[in-house]
Structures are given as structure tokens and as C-alpha cells.
Amino acid sequence: MWAPVRRREESGSPRFEEERGGSAVRLARGDNERALEDAEEACRIAPVFPQGYICQGDAFMAMEEWAAAEEAYSNALLIDPSIHGHGGVGCC
């Protein structure tokens, strides 16, 4: 059955998804600093979504900035404590 494709602008938060997705792609390519920039922009755009902070934590982990990663992950947990203990909750 054919279903119309929803345009990105019609979805919940297109700019947030774009920045979060960009962070994951850049992190996978080893571009940690740009991944962090994208994650920070996602947090700025949608500060109530934990995914941006998780992406931020992932970027800090890749950069071996442990304290900053811990803070980012803690921020994500403050927003949504239900993600605690779920392995692989990162943005990638």
C-alpha cells in the first residue's frame, strides 16, 4: 500500500533531528569536534530532549574528555531518568 512521505518540515523538530543526525555521522567519521558542535546546537535547539546531551557525551567520550562526557550524560539523565541502565543509548 502506498503512503505519502512526510516532509522533514512536517515532522516534530526537523532542525533538532538534522543536528543530532549530523553529530552521529561526524562522530562515526572521526570528526569529533564537528560532532560536538552539532550536538551542542541540538541541545540549544531542543534543550528538553536528552538525545542532544547523549550525542554531546558521545563526542566528549571520543575526545577522551571524561568529566565533560559525564556532565553531558548526567544532563540527559536529569531530563529522562528512564534511560538509565539502557546500554547503547548514544546517538550513534
Q: The CATH number of the domain where 76 resides is what?
A: 1.25.40.10
Determine how many CB atoms are found less than 10 A away from the CB of residue 45: 17
Q: Domain for residue 4, yes or no?
A: no
**Confidence band (pLDDT; 50, 70, 90) for 90?**
low
pLDDT tens, position by position, 34-86: 999 999 999 999 999 999 999 999 999 999 999 999 999 999 999 999 988 65
pTM of the model: 0.71
User: Which residue reads 512526510 in cell numbers?
Assistant: 6
3-state helix, strand, coil split of the chain in percent (to 5) is 65, 0, 35
Q: Domain for residue 73, yes or no?
A: yes
DSSP 89: -
Q: Provide the total of helices (H) and of strands (E) in the chain, helices listed first.
A: 4, 0
* CA atoms within 13 Å, Cβ hemisphere of 65: 14
Q: Domain for residue 8, yes or no?
A: no
Q: Domain span at residue 37?
A: 14-82
